[in-house]
Amino acid sequence: MTPSIPPPERFCLGDNFRRWAAEAEDYIEAFPPNERRRALLSLLDGEAKDIARDSRILDEEITNATFTRLCHYLTEEPDIMTVRLQLQSRVQLPGERFSEFVRQLRNLARDAFPDLDLAAQEDKMREQITVGAPEHDEWATLQSRDPDLKLVYHRLAHNGLRPSSSEIATSSYFARCFWALWPHLKIVDGVMFFQNSPDYMLRIIVPRGAVDTVL
């Protein structure tokens, strides 16, 4: 049986395991269970294939746990402090897409804080977005020009008077959502943030136009 999706490139030691595993899982799901071992072996190259054979990981049923075990054998455990430093120093590079920047931060947050649950890892990732993404004046420009944000942004920034329900009635669904969050929005150094209560950290409002369905 040949799956309808193309196979990923063969994995070699040192390659990005997370990316390869995501593609490989989708690929082998198209095979019947009795053919998945052979299919998965065909996606490993060189020493990686030798390690998989010697460890006999693929002798058992191929499941999500198989990839977890392969990750243990085929990748080096990251040094936690080194990865945390990488996370804290990661900034958006010139020309780098915002979606790629966020994806890299999310991967670093997972490696840097493996004991945290997914929600807490996402918080760590978002904290770094406010540091490593565009400067405050760039965020202010993005927010003030975004179709979903500009009415709320300008009203909050200039006179603090919430738009009336009639003013917001014909706006987009997302604009109305931000309008509903008005009590929790604030402008700091020209940038609009969400803060659920004074005890919670500020969370930057990311315009939809600046992110490719990432957050």
Q: What is the pLDDT of residues 125-146, one digit of tens each?
A: 888 876 666 666 777 888 999 9
Which of 132, 153, 173 is a domain's end point?
132
Residue 213 has pLDDT above 60, yes or no: no
For 108-174, list the strands marked E by DSSP: none
Distance CA 47, CA 122 (A): 34
Kindly state the DSSP code that residue 11 receives in the 8-state scheme: B
Phi, psi of 186 (to 5 degrees): -150, 155
pLDDT band at 210 (very low <50, low <70, confident <90, very high): low
Same domain, 158 and 122: no
| Res 193: pLDDT | 84
| Res 156: pLDDT | 92
Count of domains in the chain?
Answer: 3
* pLDDT above 90 coverage of the chain, percent: 16
| Res 148: pLDDT | 92
Same domain, 59 and 98: no
pLDDT band at 120 (very low <50, low <70, confident <90, very high): confident
Q: What count of Cα atoms within 13 Å lies in the side-chain half-sphere of residue 126?
A: 16
Residue 4 has pLDDT above 70, yes or no: no
Distance CA 88, CA 108 (A): 9
Give domain status of residue 5, yes or no.
no
Contact 193/206 with Cβ under 8 angstroms? no
Phi, psi of 6 (to 5 degrees): -70, 150
Q: Is the dihedral of CA 191, 109, 215, 99 positive or negative?
A: positive
Give domain status of residue 62, yes or no.
yes
Give domain status of residue 57, yes or no.
yes
Same domain, 96 and 144: no
Same domain, 110 and 149: no
Give domain status of residue 1, yes or no.
no
Same domain, 163 and 206: yes
Closest CA to 48 of 79, 78, 16: 16
Same domain, 145 and 175: yes
| Res 214: pLDDT | 39
Contact 187/157 with Cβ under 8 angstroms? yes
Q: Which residues contact 150 (CB under 8 A, 6 or more apart)?
A: 143, 144
Residue 166 has pLDDT above 90, yes or no: yes
Residue 149 has pLDDT above 90, yes or no: yes
Where in the sequence is the domain holding 55, given as residue range(s)? 17-74
Same domain, 69 and 120: no
Phi, psi of 92 (to 5 degrees): -70, 125
Distance CA 196, CA 206 (A): 16
Same domain, 105 and 88: yes
Q: Which residues face 203 on adjacent strands?
A: 194
Give domain status of residue 10, yes or no.
no
For the chain, list the strands marked E by DSSP: 185-188, 191-194, 203-204
| In 3-45, alpha helices (H) | 17-28, 36-41
Per-residue pLDDT of 30-82, as tens digits, reads 888 888 889 888 889 888 888 888 888 888 888 888 888 888 788 776 677 77
> What mean pLDDT do residues 8-31 have?
86
Q: How many CB atoms lie within 10 A of CB 66?
A: 21
Same domain, 106 and 65: no
Give domain status of residue 52, yes or no.
yes
Closest CA to 141 of 201, 191, 184: 191
Same domain, 31 and 60: yes
Average pLDDT value for the chain? 82
